[in-house]
A and B are shown apart, each in its own frame.
Chain A
């Protein structure tokens, strides 16, 4: 940590400030010609690391069924109340499945609590960040938009297993 210098510790040239300003100006002038870091977005896309929390999605098993059992914990833990789940009964071994699963992307704050609380590893945060809508209805994602095949989500699932 740099030592804090009081005014009385400064020498004359530092006190009159002008040479220091000149030094600063020289630095900023040099910086102007350095390479830029800007990512030119629509042409260049940001590829997030697995730790990125993009839009939450539902995991779709290889046989096409959802992993979710509609326990409603994500809905309960969601601080923004973005998730609505309606459970239904099936003959599958898990008995329960989400008849309707809706995430209001206008409410979602991408906190990832739903993913953290999920007992089935059925809802995970994906890498999608391009979320734009032209009306409120479009912002409510149903099961058809939310279900993503598990093979596209393995990276995040492995990340979670490692760190959760």
Chain B
């Protein structure tokens, strides 16, 4: 491989790499605003200027190709002087908005101003004033004064979202960004621009002013919006999810995630209609009950049915662990093979960027588990039919709103004698249930999910529940969480009385007389890996933060 000298050290590079890319691979970050590894090079911010020996002037590292024998200095006197000058120039018209700017704390301009800024401005004239609150689309808010014209957002819309919507207008210090006439910035990936915007010019309207960056804890998890399973970070303050941001994973989602996943997949966790504590139907009404009470109610009802009359519905929204426990419960406690799950396809949702038509996050995992562990005798439609015929009288549903927007299924469900359900929120199905167990949402539990591509990925708890303690269970903690006591309002948050579905099912099995002792999701996964070939040899450490591809039969998934 060819080599060049960077700051006195000889480093290798791949032919065609620019200086900034080669340096990044080597572990040296050259300051940059407009350059982004997955966008084209525009070279307009000029902060990545480096000194290359035998070149008359400084060159920008982002568009200069590395060449054999080149000698580059990123920390020489000339480079630093140039960088300081560029920073001073960029800061001339940048407003002192940091106190009211959401980007503060994760702002490139702020960071570089600390590292490379001269500390004070020689510019005594009034700064240029531009529009401050411009709504570019449904979610993206634009502040023209803060913009440093790096054009990252424009390039993102053209190259990644494939929907050119933005452009520069005017010149000099009046330059600003607008949408094309008659257009809105409404592509399904628009909020990624708020991530890549190096300043606070583009901000997320949904998250606007909710919290400062440093007040939140970030938990590495995955998005449950569709079967892509984009890697995300869950940002939590005061036990409430405030935003989701994409996390780099080249095999799954690159740097991006869609607006649907970012906006619509966490609010139900914070919602007021969460099932908080077990509920049992008494005199026609669902009333709150204790855990032991609910367990024994469910078990005594279940025992009154023959095993042929009981069916189970798993969920592609639940984790592999939850579905495995349900299958195990069906097989070894009840002795039933009537298990299925409801698929959800939305032909209008998918695209060829990230979004998939299959809108449930764990379809493949659920399918593999049910098919290889239980070999069900009835599938989802078969179970519904059997309920309709009166052959199945009791149904155990896990984390699925069957009746949502489907009055046909709602009618079928009313024919049941017993409906036990583990649910995250109250919904149309829980309204029909006899026993409702509060299930932990995806952000409240450990677990794994398999995406459409057969990559198994980890979910990690970001929100504490009554049984899951932030400190004791090793969850991500912000400074507020670390130092708060239960006398501090900012550290209390609302904790729901919810448990992972696998825990609820294991407890039910114990009440039925079959001891199932698992103290954590990892143990369930271990047993699952031992009993299902596809998962053989896997554990949570091997899955890691970016997931592992499993060996599965494509035939099973191609349906």
Contact = CB atoms under 8 A, between A and B. Distances in A.
A95 interface: yes
A95 B99 contact: no
A102 interface: yes
B214 A120 contact: no
A25 B212 CA distance: 64
Contact of B490 (A84, A88, A96, A106): A84
A71 B100 contact: yes
Contact of A95 (B96, B132, B487): B132
Given A69-B99, A81-B484, A76 B209 contact: no
Interface in A86-122: 87-89, 94-96, 102, 104, 106-107, 119-120
A96 B99 CA distance: 9
Contacts of A6: none
B169 to A, nearest CB: 24
B11 interface: no
Contacts of B483: 81
A109 B215 CA distance: 21
B99 A120 contact: yes
B489 A70 contact: no
B133 interface: yes
Contacts of A30: none
A136 interface: yes
Contacts of A119: 96, 98-99
A89 B488 contact: no
Contact of A71 (B99, B208, B484): B99
A106 B489 CA distance: 13
Contacts, number: 50
Contact of A72 (B132, B215, B489): B215
Given A84-B489, A120-B99, A89 B208 contact: yes
B174 interface: no
Contacts of A140: 489
A153 interface: no
A18 B208 CA distance: 78
Given A81-B480, A95-B133, A76 B99 contact: no
Contact of A104 (B98, B209, B214, B488): B488
B214 A76 contact: yes
B343 interface: no
Contacts of B391: none
B536 interface: no
Interface residues of B, number: 22
Contacts of A69: 99-100
A87 B210 contact: yes
B407 to A, nearest CB: 40
Contact of A70 (B96, B209, B480): B209
Contacts of A120: 99
State which size class the interface on A falls in.
20 to 34
Interface in A46-61: none
Contacts of B133: 95
A96 B212 CA distance: 12
A89 B209 contact: yes
A150 interface: no
A70 B212 CA distance: 10
Interface string B100-115: 1000100000000000
A136 B99 contact: no
Given A84-B490, A95-B133, A136-B487, A71 B209 contact: no
A73 interface: yes
Nearest to A91: B133
B309 to A, nearest CB: 52
Interface in B433-469: none
Contacts of A88: 209
A73 B488 contact: no
A107 B491 CA distance: 14
Contacts of B99: 69, 71, 73, 96, 119-120
A137 B487 CA distance: 9
A136 B490 CA distance: 14
Contacts of A89: 208-209
Interface in B461-518: 479-480, 483-484, 487-490
Interface of B: 96, 98-100, 104, 132-133, 208-212, 214-215, 479-480, 483-484, 487-490
Given A81-B483, A84-B490, A87-B209, 13 more contacts: A70-B100, A70-B209, A71-B99, A75-B215, A81-B479, A81-B490, A84-B488, A87-B210, A89-B209, A94-B100, A95-B100, A96-B99, A119-B98
26 contacts: A69-B100, A71-B98, A71-B99, A71-B212, A72-B215, A75-B212, A75-B215, A76-B214, A81-B483, A81-B484, A81-B488, A84-B488, A84-B490, A87-B209, A87-B210, A87-B211, A88-B209, A94-B100, A95-B100, A95-B133, A96-B209, A104-B488, A107-B488, A119-B96, A119-B98, A140-B489
Q: A-B pairs with the 9 shortest C-beta distances?
A: A71-B99, A87-B209, A96-B100, A72-B212, A84-B490, A69-B100, A119-B99, A69-B99, A89-B209
